[in-house]
């Protein structure tokens, strides 16, 4: 495990969204951090130029070095807390990446309609959820984890998706029992239980719908 920095500060909106992955990795990994929650609107517009790409989340390391982009933040935190989350060999790393980026594709498919097409979201999820989850159901029917038979970054991100569905349409999550069981297994980790307590009450999106 790499030496922990003297300070970590997460900048994000006061929502769960893309903030959940770094939060869960830091809390489950035993890292101390602070968080600056910047509301959308005037406060965000005033701060936007401060960040390299004009977007959040951003992780500030040691008070001076900023890491932007969700995937870069997640990989940094994985290396800091448990490098095995990224795979221990080149083949394992490729397998983790494969599942992680597929998970992110589905995450975007799930989150996007809350902002763009909420009037048709229930029909979309009814039509697509089980097909989106089919590869994950198959993998998890054979193993407790998505990649290499052990916990990886992909598992944390799939947990993000399951949490959204658990709060929005739990009956759909019940239609994918292996994904539901995976979510519950992740939630039973003491660090993830602490994470869930930490984000309790935060909305998932800035859309006003969840």
Question: Edge-to-edge strands of the sheet including 65-68?
Answer: 34-37, 8-12, 58-61, 65-68
Domain span including residue 68: 8-83+194-199
The alpha carbon of residue 168 and the mean position of all alpha carbons in its chain are separated, in whole angstroms, by 16
CB 23 within 8 A of CB 70: no
Domain count, the chain: 2
CATH of the domain at 58: 3.40.30.10
CB contact at 8 A, 164 and 111? yes
Return the pLDDT at 30.
97
Q: For 81-115, write each residue's pLDDT tens digit.
A: 999 999 999 999 999 999 999 999 999 999 999 99
**pLDDT tens profile 131-163:** 999 999 999 999 999 999 999 999 999 999 999
75 and 92, same domain (yes or no): no
Over pLDDT 90: what percentage of the chain?
Answer: 97
**Is the model's pLDDT at 3 over the cut of 90?**
no
Q: How far apart are CA 83 and CA 65, in angstroms?
A: 21
Examine residue 205 and state whether it is found in any structural domain, yes or no: no
For the entire predicted model, the pTM comes to 0.96
Mean pLDDT (the chain) is 97
Q: What is the pLDDT of residue 2?
A: 66
Tallying the residues shown for the chain, one arrives at 210
Q: Is the pLDDT of residue 1 over 60?
A: no
Spatial distance between the Cα atoms of 181 and 52, rounded to a whole number of angstroms: 39
Residues 130 and 149 in one domain: yes
d(CA 73, CA 84): 16
Please indicate, yes or no, whether residues 21 and 78 belong to a single structural domain of this protein.
yes
What pLDDT, on the 0 to 100 scale, is given for residue 20? Answer: 98
Task: Tell whether 109 and 155 lie within a shared domain.
Answer: yes
The stretches of the chain forming alpha helices (DSSP H) are 20-28, 42-47, 70-81, 90-116, 121-140, 153-168, 170-174, 177-187, 190-199
**pLDDT per residue over 49-82, tens digit each?**
999 999 999 999 999 999 999 999 999 999 999 9
Please check whether residues 117 and 164 belong to one and the same domain.
Answer: yes
Contact (Cβ atoms closer than 8 angstroms) between residue 133 and residue 176: yes
Beta bridge partners of 66: 60
**Judgement on whether residues 126 and 65 belong to the same structural domain of the protein:** no
């Amino acid at each position: 495990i790499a030496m922990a920095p003297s300070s970590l500060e997460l900048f994000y909106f006061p929502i769960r969204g893309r903030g959940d992955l770094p939060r869960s990795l830091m809390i489950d990994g035993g890292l101390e951090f602070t968080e600056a929650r910047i509301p959308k609107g005037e406060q965000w517009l005033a701060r936007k130029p401060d960040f390299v790409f004009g977007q959040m989340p951003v992780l500030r390391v040691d008070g001076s070095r900023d890491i932007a982009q969700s995937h870069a933040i997640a990989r940094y935190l994985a290396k800091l807390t448990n490098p095995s989350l990224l795979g221990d060999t080149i083949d394992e790393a490729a397998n983790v990446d494969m599942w992680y980026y597929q998970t992110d594709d589905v995450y975007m498919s799930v989150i996007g309609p809350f902002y763009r097409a909420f009037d048709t979201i229930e029909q979309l999820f009814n039509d697509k959820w089980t097909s989106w989850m089919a590869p994950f159901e198959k993998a998890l029917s054979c193993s407790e984890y998505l990649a290499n038979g052990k916990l990886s970054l992909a598992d944390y991100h799939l947990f993000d998706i399951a949490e959204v569905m658990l709060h929005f349409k739990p009956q759909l999550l019940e239609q994918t029992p292996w994904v539901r069981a995976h979510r519950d297994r992740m939630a039973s980790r003491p660090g993830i239980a602490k994470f869930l307590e930490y984000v309790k009450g935060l909305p998932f999106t800035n859309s006003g719908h969840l």
